[in-house]
Amino acid sequence: MSYVIDRRLNQKHKSTVNRQRFLERYRKHVKKAVEEAVNKRSITDVDKGEKISIPKGDVSEPVFGQGAGGEREQVHPGNKEFAAGDKIDRPPSSGGGKGSKASNTGEGDDEFQFQISHDEFLNVMFDGLELPNLVKQHLAGTDVFKTVRAGFSQEGNPNQINIVRSLRSAHARRIALVGKDRRRIREINAELDAIDEDDDSETVVALRKELKKSQAKVNSVPWLDTFDLKYNLHVKHPVPKSKAVMFCLMDVSGSMNQATKDMAKRFFILLYLFLQRNYDQTDVVFIRHHTSAKEVDEQEFFYSRETGGTIVSSALYMMRDIIEDRYPTDQWNVYGAQASDGDNWNDDSGTCYQVLCESIMPMVQHYSYVEITPRDHQALWGAYEQVREQFPSHFAMQQIVEASDIYPVFRELFSRKEA
């Protein structure tokens, strides 16, 4: 099977289908370029479009060409080397490529480049990801509706007219009203055709009178009546929506240097973009903590420079209290994501284990812990490993050593699991 790909400017979305087919065809190259872009970009540029390069050898597409066909005899002027019947060797190819150095082969590595948009970049970046265990649904008080077809109606707006149904109704009405008269007209015409035109007998006069009467009756029936009009009927049905809340807990204590904080922020920006992109009814609660925890807005969460000691359980206690006050678990899917360098006050890691196991894990659908450190793990990691042993399907933990680990770890935490 051959495909013709149109790469002209996508004016008024006329080439959207072709572009999507092209992106699907070279998904491997696009995905690789997106992963490299996410790892090397700054926090503010993480979701912008990207220029994708594909090796020329991989861009193999069918082309239309017109061959000479048949047998031809051709005389080239100025031939002093060959006679009829001589075989001419094919000239060596002059391979192209990048760079200024000469090549001793006939191969090149030119690249084909194209730009993907912001939406296309995000689609590739979050492909195959989902919030784990998103199952709870809440119907009461929902304000989300979906318009569905509900048959046909005798009344409606002109733009809702169903032409096929209306014509079918008009045709049925005309058959019911004048169908017998149309048959009688055909019978009379057949009888008159069999009679001489000059015949003025009473029978012929009566037939012609009946024919005129029947034709007048048929003509009096309108071709389309207001009674025939049928309209598409659409009604709004409430759609059950899965409501979710994501708690983002970030350590901003003094042990978190600027590089570590930047990696934590990059992880949470990916998470925030993922939620905005894929889920409509999702709340995000931002909590920063050092020795005490504080609920903040998006701006303060990513850009505040507050610092201090480290007591991780303060953020867990705040998360528990917010869930109990604002997010009843029978109506909300509750998620948690925590980023830290693993440092914690000596006696607090046991408290974190207790709060998670007794209060938070029974209320959440999933909890993710990311430890950003190149050093050996400390007491907090050990406490969280015990939590994972008790809740293996609802608790996940990963380590990030350098910036290039962020995107792979993010995909590992939120990859779509097979049912």
Q: What is the dihedral of CA 153, 154, 159, 163, to 10 degrees?
A: 90
Query: So what's the pLDDT on residue 262?
Result: 86
Amino acid at 330: D
| DSSP string for residues in 345-402 | -TTHHHHHHHHIIIIITTT-SEEEEEEE-SS---HHHHHHHHHHHH-TTTEEEEEE-S
Distance CA 113, CA 241 (A): 41
* Predicted confidence band of residue 129 (pLDDT cuts 50, 70, 90): confident
Counted residue by residue, the chain has a size of: 419
Query: So what's the pLDDT on residue 204?
Result: 80
Distance CA 392, CA 412 (A): 15
Which residues, other chains included, contact 256 with Cβ-Cβ below 8 Å and sequence gap of 6+?
Answer: 264, 307, 340, 341
pLDDT digits (tens, 9 = 90+) for 290-334: 889 999 988 888 887 777 788 999 999 999 999 999 998 888 889
pLDDT digits (tens, 9 = 90+) for 244-253: 889 999 998 8
| Res. 238: pLDDT tops 80 | no
| Joined tokens for residue 4 | 């013709």
Which of residues 103 and 391 earns the better pLDDT score? 391
Domains of the chain (ranges; CATH) run 12-59+112-125 (no CATH), 158-233 (no CATH), 244-414 (3.40.50.410)
- CA dihedral (297, 301, 305, 309) positive or negative: positive
Query: So what's the pLDDT on residue 288?
Result: 92
Query: So what's the pLDDT on residue 96?
Result: 47
Give the number of other CB atoms < 10 A from CB of residue 231: 18
| Joined tokens for residue 25 | 């065809």
Query: So what's the pLDDT on residue 184?
Result: 86
pLDDT digits (tens, 9 = 90+) for 339-374: 999 888 878 999 999 999 999 999 998 999 999 998
Query: So what's the pLDDT on residue 250?
Result: 92
Which of residues 12 and 279 earns the better pLDDT score? 279
Q: Is the pTM of this model over 0.75?
A: no
Q: Which of 67-81, 140-154, 397-411 reaches the highest mean pLDDT?
A: 397-411
Query: So what's the pLDDT on residue 2?
Result: 53
pLDDT digits (tens, 9 = 90+) for 40-66: 655 455 555 556 666 555 555 566 777
- Report the pLDDT averaged over residues 411-417: 81
Query: So what's the pLDDT on residue 339?
Result: 92
Query: So what's the pLDDT on residue 114?
Result: 57
Exposure string for 370-404, b = 16+ CB within 10 A, e = fewer: bbbbeeeebbbbebbeebbeebeebbbbbebeebe
Contacts 24+ apart (CB under 8 A), 208-212: 210/184, 211/185
SS3 231: strand
- Report the pLDDT averaged over residues 114-132: 71
| Res. 406: pLDDT tops 50 | yes
Amino acid at 19: R
Burial class, 76, CB count within 10 angstroms (exposed 0-12 / middle 13-18 / buried 19+): exposed
Query: So what's the pLDDT on residue 345?
Result: 84
Exposure string for 28-61, b = 16+ CB within 10 A, e = fewer: ebbeebbbebbbeeeeeebbeebebebeeeeeee
Distance CA 369, CA 269 (A): 15
| Res. 226: pLDDT tops 50 | yes
DSSP state of 129: B
Which residues, other chains included, contact 201 with Cβ-Cβ below 8 Å and sequence gap of 6+?
Answer: none
Q: What are the E-state strand segments in 219-332?
A: 231-238, 244-251, 282-289, 293-296
Which residues, other chains included, contact 157 with Cβ-Cβ below 8 Å and sequence gap of 6+?
Answer: 231
| Joined tokens for residue 136 | 């709870």
Q: What is the overall mean pLDDT for the chain? A: 78
Exposure string for 87-118, b = 16+ CB within 10 A, e = fewer: eeeeeeeeeeeeeeeeeeeeebeeeeeeebee
| Res. 418: pLDDT tops 60 | yes
| Joined tokens for residue 218 | 């048929």
